[in-house]
């Protein structure tokens, strides 16, 4: 079910529409899009790890990009975005399930990061991808279960920002023309730190889907350029303003095109790890190879990279696991 923005939404209380995607469509331009804004989910995922800001902000941007791309697809399973490189940040991984469970983590070299940032710098610099990731790749994976074929798209890390890298993917994969803008910011508060991240995406619709078969190529190109210019006019302050509802932001940007807004979809930070899952992983490893995982008490300790939950196993636990595999 959709609704059409016919006038400016009224001013009111601070927006509560964070951790959501708001799909919309610009029928006059033959363009569809989505506005994704994350806040509390980022706080839960990022702050528990204590990442330095230069790692945390790229992770926040990767997570909002993951949600933006995942919600533009039709799938039933898990969408994963992975960025790997030979720079100070070795790996960023974030994934989203179709039921709205979001998670993510980073791996980095503290010494290389300090050298790359230089003295007195804490945040990731503008155009940080080459400096912090080096040479690497961006991979998107859609996993719909063991009885289906996994889809994966891989492109080199080309560009100064993650949005640039996503544009490279769409160009090289011959997808529909797509524009993406991403912003992320961490602010200090009495309770610690608080995150806001947002992404705007516009995508040209197929002629048939847009009902514009009679529109000539030149007009379609002009309409597409207009949509991208309007999207790019969004400021970081607008995208990350916690008091600005997403509906009002879309009205500010696209009111002349009378955007149709669809039902929003919510997300939450939720890890999928469990003791049963860890049991299955350990069962796949020879017992004598687990000695490297033992802590000072002699127990095998396994820590989830996503949520930092630690699962410990004494010898009786291991007896149970390997007995069930016999």
* 228 and 300 both lie in a single domain: no
User: How high is the pLDDT of residue 179?
Assistant: 95
* 261 and 282 both lie in a single domain: no
- pLDDT of 1 higher than 80: no
* 311 and 206 both lie in a single domain: no
* 198 and 212 both lie in a single domain: yes
User: How high is the pLDDT of residue 5?
Assistant: 40
* 262 and 314 both lie in a single domain: no
Domain span at 149: 15-269
How far apart are the C-alpha atoms of 267 and 131, rounded to whole Å? 31
CATH number of the domain encompassing residue 294:
3.90.1280.10
326: confidence class by pLDDT, cuts 50, 70, 90: low
10: confidence class by pLDDT, cuts 50, 70, 90: very low
In this prediction the pTM is 0.88
Share of the chain above pLDDT 90, in %: 63
* 124 and 246 both lie in a single domain: yes
**Per the domain annotation, does 294 fall within a domain?**
yes
**Per the domain annotation, does 36 fall within a domain?**
yes
* 249 and 287 both lie in a single domain: no
Asked which of 1-15, 122-136, 239-253 is least confident by mean pLDDT, the reply is 1-15
- At 120-161, the pLDDT tens digits run 788 998 899 999 999 999 999 998 877 677 788 899 999 999
Cα separation values, 232 from 204, 238, 239, 286, 309, Å = 15, 12, 11, 54, 40
Helix (H/G/I), strand (E/B), else coil: 204: strand
User: How high is the pLDDT of residue 11?
Assistant: 38
Among the three residues 239, 269, 299, which one is the final residue of a domain in this structure?
Answer: 269
How far apart are the C-alpha atoms of 23 and 261, rounded to whole Å? 6
How far apart are the C-alpha atoms of 137 and 30, rounded to whole Å? 32
Nearest residue to 129 (alpha-carbon basis) of 78, 65, 178: 65
* Length of the chain in terms of residues written: 326
**Per the domain annotation, does 10 fall within a domain?**
no
Share of the chain above pLDDT 70, in %: 92
Asked which of 55-59, 253-257, 284-288 is least confident by mean pLDDT, the reply is 284-288
User: How high is the pLDDT of residue 144?
Assistant: 83
* 223 and 304 both lie in a single domain: no
**Per the domain annotation, does 4 fall within a domain?**
no
Return the number of other C-beta atoms located less than 10 Å from residue 46's C-beta: 25
- At 184-231, the pLDDT tens digits run 999 887 777 789 999 999 999 887 666 677 778 888 899 999 999 999
* 299 and 318 both lie in a single domain: yes
Backbone torsions φ then ψ of 243, nearest 5 degrees:
-95, 0
User: How high is the pLDDT of residue 16?
Assistant: 63
Cα separation values, 14 from 41, 46, 183, 322, Å = 18, 24, 19, 54
**Per the domain annotation, does 120 fall within a domain?**
yes
The arithmetic mean of pLDDT across residues 159-175, rounded, is 87
Q: Where are the alpha helices (DSSP H) in 10-125?
A: 40-46, 53-70, 110-117
- At 82-130, the pLDDT tens digits run 999 999 999 999 999 999 999 999 999 999 999 999 887 889 988 999 9
Domain count for the chain, please give it.
2
**DSSP letter assigned to residue 8:** P
* 158 and 44 both lie in a single domain: yes
- pLDDT of 281 higher than 60: yes
**Per the domain annotation, does 202 fall within a domain?**
yes
**Per the domain annotation, does 72 fall within a domain?**
yes
Q: Detail the DSSP E strand segments found in 86-164.
A: 89-97, 101-108, 136-143, 151-156
* 263 and 285 both lie in a single domain: no
**Per the domain annotation, does 109 fall within a domain?**
yes
- At 65-80, the pLDDT tens digits run 999 999 998 888 999 9
* 132 and 59 both lie in a single domain: yes
Helix (H/G/I), strand (E/B), else coil: 305: coil
Nearest residue to 178 (alpha-carbon basis) of 155, 204, 205: 204
- pLDDT of 297 higher than 80: yes
The arithmetic mean of pLDDT across residues 252-262, rounded, is 94
Q: Detail the DSSP E strand segments found in 129-168.
A: 136-143, 151-156
Tokens 């469509």 sit at which residue?
25
- At 35-59, the pLDDT tens digits run 999 999 999 999 889 899 999 999 9
CATH number of the domain encompassing residue 222:
3.55.30.10
């Amino acid at each position: 079910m959709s609704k059409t923005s016919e006038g400016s939404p009224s001013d009111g209380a601070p927006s509560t529409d964070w951790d959501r995607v708001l799909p919309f469509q610009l029928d006059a331009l033959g363009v569809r899009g989505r506005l994704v804004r994350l806040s509390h989910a980022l706080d839960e995922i990022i702050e528990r790890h204590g990442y330095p800001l230069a790692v945390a902000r790229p992770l926040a941007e990767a997570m909002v990009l993951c949600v933006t791309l995942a919600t533009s697809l039709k799938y039933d399973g898990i969408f994963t975005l992975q960025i790997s490189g030979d720079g100070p940040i070795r790996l960023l991984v974030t994934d989203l399930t179709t039921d709205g469970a979001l998670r993510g983590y980073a791996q980095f070299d503290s010494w290389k990061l300090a050298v790359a940032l230089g003295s007195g710098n804490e945040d990731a610099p503008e155009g940080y991808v080459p400096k912090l990731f080096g040479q690497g790749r961006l991979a998107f994976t859609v996993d719909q279960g063991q009885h289906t074929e996994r889809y994966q798209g891989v492109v080199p890390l080309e560009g100064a920002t993650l949005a640039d890298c996503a544009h490279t993917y769409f160009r090289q994969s011959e997808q529909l023309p797509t524009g993406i803008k991403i912003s992320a910011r961490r602010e200090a508060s009495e309770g610690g730190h608080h995150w806001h991240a947002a992404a705007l995406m516009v995508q040209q619709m197929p002629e048939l889907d847009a009902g514009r078969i009679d529109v000539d190529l030149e007009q379609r190109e002009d309409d597409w350029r207009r949509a991208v210019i309007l999207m790019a006019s969004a400021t970081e302050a607008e995208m990350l303003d916690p008091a600005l509802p997403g509906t009002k932001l879309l009205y500010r940007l696209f009111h002349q095109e009378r955007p149709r807004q669809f039902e929003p979809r919510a997300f939450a930070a939720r890890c999928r790890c469990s003791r049963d899952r860890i049991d299955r992983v350990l069962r796949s490893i020879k017992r004598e190879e687990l000695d490297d995982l033992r802590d000072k008490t002699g127990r095998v300790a396994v820590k989830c990279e996503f949520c930092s939950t630690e699962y410990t196993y004494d010898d009786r636990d291991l007896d149970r696991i390997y007995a069930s595999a016999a």
